[in-house]
Amino acid sequence: MGIKTKQYGSLIIISGTTCAGKGTIINKLLENNDEMTLSISYTSRPMRKGEKNGVDYYFVTREEFERKIQNGDFLEYAKVRYGEYFGTPKAEVEEILQTGKDVLLEIDVQGAEQIKKMFPETILIFIMAPSMEEVKRRIKARGLETNEQIIDRFKTAYNEINEVSKYNYIVVNDEVNKAVEKVKAILLSEKCRVDRIEEIAVENQEEIIHEFLMDKEFDNEIKTISERMEQ
Protein backbone atom coordinates (compact mmCIF):
# COMPACT_ATOMS: atom_id res chain seq x y z
CA MET A 1 0.00 0.00 0.00
CA GLY A 2 1.30 3.48 -0.88
CA ILE A 3 0.12 6.92 0.17
CA LYS A 4 0.67 9.96 -2.01
CA THR A 5 0.23 13.34 -0.34
CA LYS A 6 -0.62 16.58 -2.09
CA GLN A 7 2.42 18.48 -3.28
CA TYR A 8 0.90 21.91 -2.64
CA GLY A 9 2.67 23.59 0.28
CA SER A 10 1.04 24.72 3.51
CA LEU A 11 0.39 28.35 4.38
CA ILE A 12 1.35 28.91 8.01
CA ILE A 13 0.61 32.05 10.00
CA ILE A 14 2.38 32.80 13.25
CA SER A 15 0.99 35.65 15.33
CA GLY A 16 1.37 36.55 18.96
CA THR A 17 1.49 39.18 21.63
CA THR A 18 4.32 41.65 21.97
CA CYS A 19 7.56 40.12 23.28
CA ALA A 20 6.18 36.58 22.92
CA GLY A 21 9.30 35.53 21.01
CA LYS A 22 7.68 34.99 17.59
CA GLY A 23 10.77 36.06 15.68
CA THR A 24 13.08 33.73 17.60
CA ILE A 25 10.75 30.77 17.07
CA ILE A 26 10.45 31.52 13.35
CA ASN A 27 14.22 31.76 12.93
CA LYS A 28 14.68 28.37 14.60
CA LEU A 29 11.97 26.80 12.41
CA LEU A 30 13.78 28.03 9.31
CA GLU A 31 17.22 26.77 10.37
CA ASN A 32 18.42 24.05 7.97
CA ASN A 33 14.89 23.70 6.60
CA ASP A 34 14.70 23.68 2.81
CA GLU A 35 10.99 22.83 2.82
CA MET A 36 9.88 26.11 4.41
CA THR A 37 10.41 29.77 3.57
CA LEU A 38 9.44 33.07 5.15
CA SER A 39 7.26 35.37 3.06
CA ILE A 40 8.75 38.82 2.49
CA SER A 41 6.23 41.63 2.96
CA TYR A 42 5.88 44.87 1.03
CA THR A 43 6.04 48.17 2.89
CA SER A 44 5.78 51.85 2.07
CA ARG A 45 7.96 52.93 4.98
CA PRO A 46 11.51 54.12 4.29
CA MET A 47 14.35 51.63 4.40
CA ARG A 48 16.30 51.73 7.65
CA LYS A 49 20.04 51.48 8.08
CA GLY A 50 21.23 47.90 7.61
CA GLU A 51 18.06 46.73 5.84
CA LYS A 52 18.10 45.26 2.33
CA ASN A 53 15.40 45.46 -0.31
CA GLY A 54 14.03 42.00 -1.09
CA VAL A 55 15.50 40.57 2.12
CA ASP A 56 13.88 42.43 5.00
CA TYR A 57 11.00 43.90 2.96
CA TYR A 58 10.14 44.92 -0.55
CA PHE A 59 10.35 48.71 -0.21
CA VAL A 60 8.00 50.68 -2.46
CA THR A 61 6.51 54.17 -2.46
CA ARG A 62 3.13 54.81 -0.89
CA GLU A 63 1.69 55.49 -4.34
CA GLU A 64 2.98 52.20 -5.70
CA PHE A 65 1.63 50.33 -2.67
CA GLU A 66 -1.81 51.87 -3.18
CA ARG A 67 -1.75 50.84 -6.85
CA LYS A 68 -1.04 47.28 -5.75
CA ILE A 69 -4.02 47.47 -3.39
CA GLN A 70 -6.24 48.52 -6.29
CA ASN A 71 -4.86 45.66 -8.40
CA GLY A 72 -5.63 43.10 -5.67
CA ASP A 73 -1.96 42.15 -5.32
CA PHE A 74 -2.06 41.46 -1.56
CA LEU A 75 -3.34 38.56 0.50
CA GLU A 76 -3.67 41.07 3.31
CA TYR A 77 -2.47 44.57 4.07
CA ALA A 78 -2.74 47.16 6.81
CA LYS A 79 -2.13 50.85 7.24
CA VAL A 80 -0.29 51.31 10.50
CA ARG A 81 0.72 54.24 12.63
CA TYR A 82 2.20 57.20 10.75
CA GLY A 83 0.24 56.17 7.64
CA GLU A 84 2.66 53.54 6.35
CA TYR A 85 1.47 50.35 4.66
CA PHE A 86 2.50 46.73 5.15
CA GLY A 87 1.19 43.86 3.03
CA THR A 88 1.66 40.20 2.10
CA PRO A 89 2.15 39.64 -1.66
CA LYS A 90 -0.31 37.22 -3.24
CA ALA A 91 1.57 36.15 -6.39
CA GLU A 92 4.87 35.42 -4.62
CA VAL A 93 3.21 33.34 -1.91
CA GLU A 94 1.11 31.31 -4.36
CA GLU A 95 4.15 30.66 -6.57
CA ILE A 96 6.13 29.23 -3.63
CA LEU A 97 3.19 27.08 -2.47
CA GLN A 98 2.91 25.60 -5.97
CA THR A 99 6.47 24.28 -5.66
CA GLY A 100 5.43 22.26 -2.58
CA LYS A 101 7.26 24.47 -0.09
CA ASP A 102 5.53 25.71 3.05
CA VAL A 103 5.23 29.48 3.44
CA LEU A 104 5.51 31.08 6.84
CA LEU A 105 3.90 34.45 7.58
CA GLU A 106 4.49 36.58 10.67
CA ILE A 107 1.48 38.88 10.80
CA ASP A 108 -1.02 40.30 13.27
CA VAL A 109 -4.49 39.07 14.15
CA GLN A 110 -6.28 41.28 11.62
CA GLY A 111 -4.05 40.13 8.78
CA ALA A 112 -4.47 36.49 9.78
CA GLU A 113 -8.23 36.89 9.66
CA GLN A 114 -8.08 38.35 6.14
CA ILE A 115 -5.96 35.47 4.84
CA LYS A 116 -8.07 32.79 6.56
CA LYS A 117 -11.08 34.00 4.56
CA MET A 118 -9.16 33.58 1.28
CA PHE A 119 -7.36 30.35 2.27
CA PRO A 120 -9.50 28.42 4.82
CA GLU A 121 -6.87 25.67 5.01
CA THR A 122 -4.29 28.10 6.44
CA ILE A 123 -2.64 26.89 9.66
CA LEU A 124 -2.95 29.58 12.35
CA ILE A 125 -0.62 29.43 15.36
CA PHE A 126 -0.71 31.98 18.18
CA ILE A 127 2.41 32.43 20.34
CA MET A 128 1.97 33.67 23.91
CA ALA A 129 4.37 34.63 26.67
CA PRO A 130 3.80 32.65 29.90
CA SER A 131 2.29 35.72 31.60
CA MET A 132 1.73 39.45 31.16
CA GLU A 133 4.20 39.97 33.99
CA GLU A 134 6.81 38.25 31.81
CA VAL A 135 5.80 40.47 28.89
CA LYS A 136 6.43 43.54 31.06
CA ARG A 137 9.80 42.17 32.11
CA ARG A 138 10.85 41.51 28.50
CA ILE A 139 9.75 44.97 27.34
CA LYS A 140 11.65 46.71 30.13
CA ALA A 141 14.72 44.53 29.49
CA ARG A 142 14.88 45.87 25.93
CA GLY A 143 14.83 49.45 27.22
CA LEU A 144 13.58 50.82 23.91
CA GLU A 145 10.09 52.07 24.80
CA THR A 146 8.74 54.94 26.87
CA ASN A 147 6.13 54.28 29.55
CA GLU A 148 3.44 55.49 27.15
CA GLN A 149 4.60 53.05 24.47
CA ILE A 150 4.70 50.19 26.98
CA ILE A 151 1.11 50.92 28.01
CA ASP A 152 0.09 51.00 24.35
CA ARG A 153 1.74 47.64 23.76
CA PHE A 154 -0.10 46.15 26.73
CA LYS A 155 -3.46 47.37 25.42
CA THR A 156 -2.73 45.83 22.03
CA ALA A 157 -1.62 42.56 23.63
CA TYR A 158 -4.85 42.23 25.62
CA ASN A 159 -6.92 42.93 22.51
CA GLU A 160 -5.01 40.27 20.58
CA ILE A 161 -5.43 37.66 23.33
CA ASN A 162 -9.18 38.14 23.05
CA GLU A 163 -8.92 37.00 19.42
CA VAL A 164 -7.10 33.70 20.00
CA SER A 165 -10.28 31.67 19.45
CA LYS A 166 -9.85 32.40 15.72
CA TYR A 167 -6.60 30.40 15.70
CA ASN A 168 -6.07 26.66 15.34
CA TYR A 169 -3.32 26.36 17.95
CA ILE A 170 -1.84 28.24 20.91
CA VAL A 171 1.77 27.73 22.00
CA VAL A 172 3.05 29.23 25.26
CA ASN A 173 6.67 30.28 24.87
CA ASP A 174 7.99 29.70 28.39
CA GLU A 175 11.15 28.07 27.02
CA VAL A 176 12.15 28.68 23.41
CA ASN A 177 13.36 25.22 22.39
CA LYS A 178 10.28 23.54 23.87
CA ALA A 179 8.02 26.03 22.09
CA VAL A 180 9.80 25.35 18.80
CA GLU A 181 9.33 21.60 19.23
CA LYS A 182 5.63 22.13 19.88
CA VAL A 183 5.26 24.14 16.67
CA LYS A 184 7.18 21.47 14.73
CA ALA A 185 4.85 18.80 16.14
CA ILE A 186 1.83 20.84 15.04
CA LEU A 187 3.18 21.18 11.51
CA LEU A 188 4.04 17.47 11.33
CA SER A 189 0.53 16.49 12.43
CA GLU A 190 -0.93 18.80 9.78
CA LYS A 191 1.07 16.94 7.12
CA CYS A 192 -0.64 13.71 8.21
CA ARG A 193 -4.18 15.04 7.85
CA VAL A 194 -6.45 12.89 5.68
CA ASP A 195 -7.43 15.86 3.51
CA ARG A 196 -3.78 16.22 2.46
CA ILE A 197 -3.81 12.71 0.98
CA GLU A 198 -4.14 12.83 -2.78
CA GLU A 199 -4.14 9.10 -3.50
CA ILE A 200 -3.89 5.75 -1.76
CA ALA A 201 -2.46 3.01 -3.93
CA VAL A 202 -3.67 -0.48 -2.95
CA GLU A 203 -2.40 -3.65 -4.59
CA ASN A 204 -4.71 -5.87 -6.65
CA GLN A 205 -7.28 -7.56 -4.36
CA GLU A 206 -6.54 -11.08 -5.66
CA GLU A 207 -2.82 -10.57 -5.01
CA ILE A 208 -3.47 -9.46 -1.44
CA ILE A 209 -5.68 -12.52 -0.73
CA HIS A 210 -3.13 -14.84 -2.32
CA GLU A 211 -0.28 -13.39 -0.23
CA PHE A 212 -2.40 -13.67 2.90
CA LEU A 213 -3.19 -17.35 2.24
CA MET A 214 0.44 -18.10 1.41
CA ASP A 215 1.49 -16.57 4.73
CA LYS A 216 -1.06 -18.70 6.55
CA GLU A 217 0.17 -21.85 4.79
CA PHE A 218 3.76 -20.99 5.66
CA ASP A 219 2.81 -20.33 9.29
CA ASN A 220 1.12 -23.75 9.50
CA GLU A 221 4.20 -25.50 8.11
CA ILE A 222 6.46 -23.79 10.64
CA LYS A 223 4.08 -24.72 13.43
CA THR A 224 4.03 -28.40 12.32
CA ILE A 225 7.85 -28.58 12.18
CA SER A 226 8.14 -27.01 15.64
CA GLU A 227 5.69 -29.50 17.11
CA ARG A 228 7.59 -32.46 15.62
CA MET A 229 10.87 -31.19 17.04
CA GLU A 230 9.36 -30.94 20.50
CA GLN A 231 8.18 -34.58 20.43
CATH code, domain carrying 192: 3.40.50.300
Which domain, by its residues, includes 193?
Answer: 2-39+101-198
pLDDT band with cut points at 50, 70 and 90 for residue 188: very high
Say if 53 falls within a structural domain: no
Say if 58 falls within a structural domain: no
Say if 105 falls within a structural domain: yes
Say if 32 falls within a structural domain: yes
- Contact between 84 and 96 under an 8 Å Cβ cutoff? The reply is no
- Contact between 173 and 127 under an 8 Å Cβ cutoff? The reply is yes
Say if 125 falls within a structural domain: yes
| Whether the predicted pLDDT of 153 surpasses 60 | yes
Say how many domains are in the chain.
Answer: 1
| Whether the predicted pLDDT of 212 surpasses 70 | no
Question: Of all residues in the chain, what percent carry a pLDDT higher than 90?
Answer: 54
| Whether the predicted pLDDT of 83 surpasses 90 | no
Its pTM stands at 0.78
129: exposed, middle or buried (Cβ count in 10 Å: 0-12, 13-18, 19+): buried
Say if 56 falls within a structural domain: no
Q: What is the mean pLDDT of the chain?
A: 84
pLDDT band with cut points at 50, 70 and 90 for residue 96: very high
pLDDT in tens, 46-79: 998 899 999 999 999 999 999 999 999 999 999 9
The Cα–Cα gap between 212 and 194 comes to: 27
Say if 216 falls within a structural domain: no
pLDDT of 128: 92
pLDDT band with cut points at 50, 70 and 90 for residue 147: confident
- Contact between 1 and 211 under an 8 Å Cβ cutoff? The reply is no
Say if 161 falls within a structural domain: yes
Range in 38-47, 101-110, 142-151 the model is least confident about: 142-151
Range in 32-36, 149-153, 166-170 the model is least confident about: 149-153
